[in-house]
Structure 1
C-alpha cells in the first residue's frame, strides 16, 4: 500500500481534490435548493407545496446513479450538454437537495409558532422573519443532520466515476488496471475517504460546540 501511495500519490491527490471540489459544490447547491424546497413545502399555495413534495419524494425514491445518467447521457436529447464534472455536481446537488429540504423542514417546524405570529403582527416581512428569527433558532437543530448529509454526499461522489468524472474511484480503477493490483489501491482510496469523512465530522463537532457556546451566552 505504501508503494502505491508513493508511486501514485500525485494522481490520488489530484483525484481527491476533484472529489472535494465536486462534493463542496454539490453541498452548496443542495443546501440552497433544499432551503427553497422547505419553504415551498410549507407554502400556503397548494400547487407549490405539492410540486416540492413530489420533487422530494422522487429524488428520495430514485438511485442517484439514475439521475446522473439522465443528466450526463440523456441531457443532449433535450439540448443540455454538460461536461462530466458539471454534470456530476448538478446531479449530486439536485439529489442532496431533497434530503436537505427535509432537514430544513423539520428545523422550521420546531420554531414556536407564536414567535412567527408576533413578528408578523409587528410588520416584519417573511424574509426578515426567516433570516432574523427562524434560521438562527434552527441552526443548532439542523447542524448535526446537515453534517451527516454532507458526509453522505462525499461518499456518494464515488459513483461519479460512472460518468467519467476523474475523482478518487476513477483514479483507483485506472491504477488497479495499470498495476493489476486490487487490494492495495482500494485500501489507499478507502483510507483517503475515511480521512476526508473524519475531517468533515470533526469540523461539524467544532461548529456544534461553538454554536452551543454562542447560544448559552
Structure 2
C-alpha cells in the first residue's frame, strides 16, 4: 500500500467541516453536561432522599452502560415513544446526558471535599444556601474538580466519534466516507489518529494552563 497525501488535500474542505462539527458538538455537549451535572449534584445533596435516590439510579445507569448503546437507544428507540430527533440534535442530546452523569459525580465529590466547618461558619454568619454554594462551596471545590473535569472532557472528545453510527457528519463519519470513496483506508485512519491526537493534546494543555492559573489566583496573597 502506498500512502497518498493528495487524498487528504483533495478533500480538505470536507475534513475541515467534519472537524468543525466535532468541535461544536464536543464543546456544546461538554458545557451542557457541566451545567446538568452541577444541577444534579446539587439536587442530590440538598434535595433529600426523594431526589437523591432516583437521580442516583439514573446516574448509575448512564455510567454503567456504553455510550454506543445509549445513542442507539435514543436515535432508533426514540420514535417508539414519540421522540424523533435528527442526527445532530440527537448526538448533542446523547453526549450531554452522558457527560452530565459523570460530571455530577465529580461535583458531588467536590461538595464532599469541602470541610464541613466552612459551611457551618457560613451558616452562622446568616448566609443563605445559595450564597453558601456560590461563595463557599464553588470557590473551594473548583481546584478539586478541575483536573478530573479536564480528563472527562478529553474522554468526551474521543467518545464523540461514536456519533458516526447515527450518521452525524462529524470527523469520523467524514474521513471514513473519504476512505471508502477513494479506497484510501490507510490515509483515513492515519488522518483520524493525527487530528484527534492534536485536539486532545491542545485540550489537555489548555486544561493544565487553566488549572495553573486558577491555583495562582486561588492562593495569591491579597
TM range (shorter): over 0.9
Query: Are 2:174 and 1:207 aligned?
Result: no
What is the total number of aligned residue pairs between the two structures?
A: 217
Query: Are 2:158 and 1:158 aligned?
Result: no
What aligned pairs does 1:17-96 form with structure 2 within 5 A after superposition? 17-43=20-46, 45-96=48-99
Task: Identify which of 131, 136, 149 aligns with 1:133.
Answer: 136
Gaps of 5+ in 2: none
Provide the secondary structure at the position in 2 that maps to 1:6: helix
Provide the secondary structure at the position in 1 that maps to 2:83: coil
Q: Which runs of 4+ in 1 moved over 3 A?
A: none
- Please report how far the alpha carbon of residue 72 of structure 1 lies from its aligned counterpart in structure 2 after TM superposition: 1.3
8 Å CA contact 2:8, 2:187 repeated in 1? no
Q: Which residue of 2 aligns with 1:183?
A: 186
Q: Which residue of 1 aligns with 2:121?
A: 118
- Please report how far the alpha carbon of residue 44 of structure 1 lies from its aligned counterpart in structure 2 after TM superposition: 5.2
Taking structure 2 as the reference length, what is the TM-score of the superposition? 0.94
CA distance in 2, matches of 1:32, 1:154: 17
CA distance in 1, matches of 2:114, 2:206: 26
8 Å CA contact 2:7, 2:184 repeated in 1? no
Q: Deviations over 1:45-99 (max 9, x none)?
A: 2120101210111001111111111211111222212110010011011011111
CA distance in 2, matches of 1:34, 1:63: 18
Q: Deviations over 1:162-208 (max 9, x none)?
A: 01100011012211111112111110111111111011111101101
Taking structure 1 as the reference length, what is the TM-score of the superposition? 0.96
Provide the secondary structure at the position in 2 that maps to 1:82: coil
Q: CA RMSD in A?
A: 1.2
